Amino acid sequence: MIYLDYAASTPVSEESLHVFQQLSKECYGNASSLHDAGGRANEILAYSRQSLAAILGGEPDGIYFTSGGTESNILAIQSIINGLPPHKQHVITTSVEHPSVHHAVNALQRLGVKVTVIEPNQEGIITKEILKQALLPETGLVSIQHANSETGIIQPLAELATLLKERDILFHTDAVQTFGKMHVSIKELGVDALSISSHKVYAPKGAGAVYMGAHVPWKPIYQDTVQENGLRPGTVNVPCIGAFVAASEQIMLKIDQQQQLDIQLRDYFLQQLKKRKLSVRMLQESDQRRTLPHIIGCFFEGFEGQYVMLACNRHGICISTGSACASGYHHPSPAVKALHVSDRDALQFIRLSFGRGSSKDDIDQLLHTFESLQKEKKGA
């Protein structure tokens, strides 16, 4: 099988799986228990908080572990709004966020919180001007993704942050797709809160984290929660968290190398598309610097994305038609539509995403499948 869907989920690294195994055997105590079995679990948690904080350039106390990226987004956004005063109950987010961000703000809206959903410009970017127009005196929180899972487009968070800081508005970002793929620094981004997930960085599924600076006045959704300083109730999944942090440490060691490899693979893909005269159009050819190099959004002209994905699957190649968390829905992706792509074109969208095991051979095989499809069509 050729796996080109690393943005949906990554395989688990040997090292991370080993850590999971060891901790499952040695640290099975409940981290809330006050005996040594609980104490050992708690030591792993403390180490994990420190290490992850160091990677993100934050304080260990700012790390709150969760069960994954979706829960991180929901808990961060809801807990922050819960902690803001009545005159700051307006939240701004974008049309291109992960479904979990929409879950969070929709639930808040039903509770009476004012929600504004802004649209990026034609290049998929939320500019300072777009954000500025949506700001209200009562805006308390803005949540904008670091990069999009379907288009790979990176938002200029640092620029937006200065705008928000001046106005004392809190800034949350969903960094699930960027963490471990590019350098993510809380200080450099200027965000107050950030969400990440384990299974995008070669760790097992089942862990995630929220970072919230000490100045963020969040309040628990569930009062009297004892775990994770009140943010998330439930037994803390220490083995998975330990494996998550081990995988994060590991991915950071080779982050620049992997990024170079991703760029090489993307360039090779682009060059081969031309060489093989394939009618595959890139989503964004103009400004590659603003996208994650491992995510390639494109359109195979004349073919529905679903058809191409299934044809690739028959040839043993896994690609996708967009976010796995929205699959099953057949309407065009909001992130693709935001780029002023027609409905018809948006349904032709496919995404490939590279990772640790990806090679030129994988791309050659993918292109070979594309060639067969194109030939079939011409023959028909």
Phi, psi of 5 (to 5 degrees): -135, 40
Neighbours of 217 (CB within 10 A): 14
Distance CA 248, CA 241 (A): 10
* Shortest Cβ 154–a copy of itself spacing (Å): 22
> In 152-304, which ranges are continuous DSSP H helix?
157-166, 186-189, 238-253, 255-275
Which residue, 106 or 271, has its beta carbon nearer to a copy of itself?
106
* Shortest Cβ 179–a copy of itself spacing (Å): 15
Whether the CA torsion 225, 230, 231, 232 is positive or negative: it is: negative
Distance CA 154, CA 147 (A): 4
* Shortest Cβ 227–a copy of itself spacing (Å): 8
* Shortest Cβ 226–a copy of itself spacing (Å): 5
Cα angle for residues 125, 274, 371 (degrees, 5° grid): 105
Taken as a whole, the chain contains a residue count of 380
Distance CA 58, CA 51 (A): 10
240 catalytically annotated: no
Distance CA 37, CA 26 (A): 9
Half-sphere exposure of 359 (CA within 13 A, CB side): 6
Neighbours of 340 (CB within 10 A): 11
On whether the CB atoms of residues 311 and 369 are closer than 8 A, the answer is yes
Residue pointed to by tokens 């995403």: 353
* Shortest Cβ 235–a copy of itself spacing (Å): 6
Which residue, 35 or 274, has its beta carbon nearer to a copy of itself?
35
Question: Any idea which residues carry the catalytic annotation?
Answer: 325
